[in-house]
Amino acid sequence: MSAILLLVGVFSSITATQSIGVCYGVSGDNLPSRQEVVDLYKTNGISRMRIYYPDEEALQALRGSNIELIMDVAGETIQSLTNPDVAIDWVNTYVTPYSDVKFKYINVGNEVHPGDAVAQYILTAMTNIQNAISLTNLQGQIKVSTAIDGTLITNSYPPSNGAFTSDATTYITSIINFLAENESPLLANVYPYFAYVNDLQNIDLAYAIFNQQGNNEIGYQNLFDAMLDSIYAALEKVGASNLQIVVSESGWPSEGGTGATTENADTYYANLISHVSGTSGTPMRPGVSIETFLFAMFDENHKLGAETERHFGLFFPNKTSKYSLNFN
Ligand SMILES: *[C@@H]1O[C@H](CO)[C@@H](O)[C@H](O)[C@H]1NC(C)=O
């Protein structure tokens, strides 16, 4: 009897396990070819990829690979997709011809903020892409979403107090209704690293890299769960308690700023992989593994901004792994 129960438990945790995704940015002048990159995903057992625009060379390389894909609409294309015919063309150019590429999500807008000029176009562009996908009968397989960042969330501690800022509420509510109607998840880029460096007085490094021992007073073992649950709490406050979140980016830089060391990054990625692949979930969403995309495949020497931005790679451009991670 107990042996049977144990087996059932083992099998159900196997089926619930999530495989890891890795974001593939190309803002570097020294990166391997698209085909070499797809091969590197395969040899490392990385079965999901995010790309940031319809990169036709990458799509060619992905044919038949079985790698599940998040494909972003290029930021500069979003406004044009408010024309339904342009959205149909977009799908007919970048999606339909690649029937042997496993598109999972089309992402419209990465870290768009309510005050950005492009914000007014996001919902219409999402709707038009969704309609164009429905015309090809792929709506069951390919979901349309948008990727938010942490600046849309306020009162994130304790996580149950999490809410969208008032600007963000106006912006996101209609988008969230769209996601719920289409049974699409919300994508969220979740960076304990930035939360940590922005609040060194209150946040322990150990808590940010999953090394905290024991419970803090509200039951959170790590900052990642706390940040994710603050978004779930925000969704509940706008009536979207059933919406799923996919973590569309998370990572830790190996150099260039406070706490940015190879050792900390190795610890963060290894612990994140084991946490999201398991079925512990978060305190607000226990028992479910968390679909997560690590940021990013390579160090990208052309990334702008802080020095850390150029050191998020899991691999050096010469394809040597920076860390000893096991992706499956
Ligand atoms: C790859 O690049 C890294 C960083 O520049 C370097 O440390 C490493 O030795 C290189 N590996 C090979 C095999 O060239």
**Running along the chain, 328 residues long, what does each successive block of 10 average in pLDDT?**
44 57 97 98 97 98 98 98 98 98 98 98 98 95 98 95 97 98 98 97 95 74 96 98 97 98 98 94 93 98 97 98 94
- How far does the centroid of ligand 1 lie from the alpha carbon of residue 320, in Å? 6
- How far does the centroid of ligand 1 lie from the alpha carbon of residue 307, in Å? 20
Count the neighbouring beta carbons within 10 Å of the beta carbon of residue 114: 17
Count the neighbouring beta carbons within 10 Å of the beta carbon of residue 127: 20
Under 8 Å between Cβ of 95 and 136: yes
Of 31, 320, 322, 323, the one to substitute when testing ligand 1's pocket (max ligand atoms within 8 A of C-beta) is 320
Cα–Cα distances in angstroms (integers) from residue 149 to residues 99, 121, 164, 186, 254, in the given order: 31, 18, 11, 11, 21
CA atoms of 6 and 200, how far apart (whole Å): 43
Q: pTM for the whole thing?
A: 0.94
- Concerning whether 111 is annotated as a catalytic residue, the answer is yes
Question: Which residue has its alpha carbon closest to ligand 1 atom 3?
Answer: 316
- Concerning whether 36 is annotated as a catalytic residue, the answer is no
Would the CB of 318 count as within 6 Å of ligand 1?
yes
The catalytic residue among 111, 217, 291, 309 is 111
Under 8 Å between Cβ of 233 and 160: yes
Domain 21-310 architecture: Alpha-Beta Barrel (3.20)
The catalytic residue among 57, 68, 236, 249 is 249
What is residue 19's predicted lDDT score, i.e. its pLDDT?
Answer: 86
Of 262, 314, 316, the one to substitute when testing ligand 1's pocket (max ligand atoms within 8 A of C-beta) is 316
What is residue 95's predicted lDDT score, i.e. its pLDDT?
Answer: 98
